[in-house]
Structure 1
Amino acid sequence: MNSTFKIWKTSRNLYLDFFEKYTLDQLNKIPEGFNNNLIWNIGHVIVAQQSLIYKLSGLEGYISDELINLYKSGTKPTGQTTESEVKELKELLISLIEKTETDFANAKFVTFNERLTGTGFHLTTLKDAFDFNNYHEGLHLGYMMNIRKFV
């Protein structure tokens, strides 16, 4: 799991760079031909990780239902994300890694409920969920690299 966590941390640090390099207007801009924006992708990977790791393990995560409803799969931006919401997402991006690592080290994850993802991956173990999470975050980082060309 050390490698899995290392990949996840590296990915999340790449996401953090978007907060430093883009203005609030740029983070919120949905370029023509796209369904979402930079900030939605960041919110989405946070929500997806909590769902994949915690919900599938039958545990409560660390984010609100409101956040889940804004960024879960199948949603798209409904308005402008505010500076305070950006601050919250930025904080969650890193703090959730620490919390998840601690929960993993403390053997908090006991059960896992299998799931077939929307892209056809059959997750049967917690390790599958962590690996898929890294794959999923890589996909969304790619989307963001494309979006940034148009903001």
Structure 2
Amino acid sequence: MPFTFEYTLDISRKNRQIFKGFLETISLENLNKIPAGFNNNIIWNIAHVIATQQVLVYLLSGIKPRVSSDFIDMYRKGTKPERDVSQEELVEICELLSTTIDHTATDYAAGIFKEFNVYTVSTGSTLNNVDDALAFNNFHEGIHLGSVLALRHAIGLV
């Protein structure tokens, strides 16, 4: 079955809308709360999917990401919340949910993703090109959507 960028992009946009809904309806205090038995929080999971998408799609393609290196360093794989996220950072994360996908769509259409550093992810799947990265990214975001749902339940919001 051939890769369809439009379908993959549609899934990304819908998932990001779900994440944005959490950011808009859950208090900043609860977004930052780390419940017993967890090592991260809702806001970290949402920022993490943004950082990971930028690493998988842009950095592995040898292209400068559309977010700062500080943002990636704070939320990349292997990190955890070191402090509470501020209201200003919440606004930025909310915006990045859509702007990063919009930029990816524009950049993909412009054909800038020519090179790719083959990478094997923690599940054992090997990403050979940007299309693989985009498809895997949706799987990754789905995992973190599940984490957000579990965190929401753990802090008593369901």
Task: Name the TM-score class by shorter chain.
Answer: over 0.9
Matches within 5 A, 1:125-136: 125-136=129-140
Gaps of 5+ in 1: none
Letter in 1 for 2:55: S
Task: Give the one of 30, 34, 37 matched to 2:38.
Answer: 34
Distance in 2, Cα, partners of 1:67 & 1:33: 26
Once residues 31 and 21 of structure 1 are traced to their aligned partners in structure 2, the CA distance between those partners, rounded to angstroms, is: 18
**How far apart are the structure 2 equivalents of 1:135 and 1:102?**
22
Q: Does 1:73 align with 2:77?
A: yes
Instruction: Provide the TM-score with structure 2 as the length reference.
Output: 0.94
Q: Describe the SS at the equivalent of 1:26.
A: helix
Q: Partner residue of 1:145? A: 149
Matched pairs, number: 151
Rounded to whole Å, the distance in 2 between the matches of 1:118 and 1:79 is 26
For 2:86 and 2:129, how far apart are their aligned partners in 1? 37
Q: Give the aligned partner of residue 88 of structure 2.
A: 84
Q: What are the residue-to-residue correspondences of 1:1-151 with 2, within 5 Å?
A: 1-151=5-155
- CA distance in 2 between counterparts of 1:126 and 1:54 reads 8
CA distance in 1, matches of 2:123, 2:81: 21
Alignment partners' CA distance in 2, 1:20 and 1:45: 17
Calculate the aligned-residue CA RMSD, in Å: 0.7
Partners of 2:66 and 2:24 in 1: how far apart? 25
In 1, the alpha carbon distance for the partners of 2:123 and 2:42 equals 21
d(CA) in 1 for partners of 2:69, 2:7: 30
Following TM superposition, the consecutive aligned residue runs of length 4 or more in structure 1 with deviations greater than 4 angstroms are none
- CA distance in 1: counterparts of 2:76 and 2:101, whole angstroms: 19
**Aligned residues: percent identity?**
43
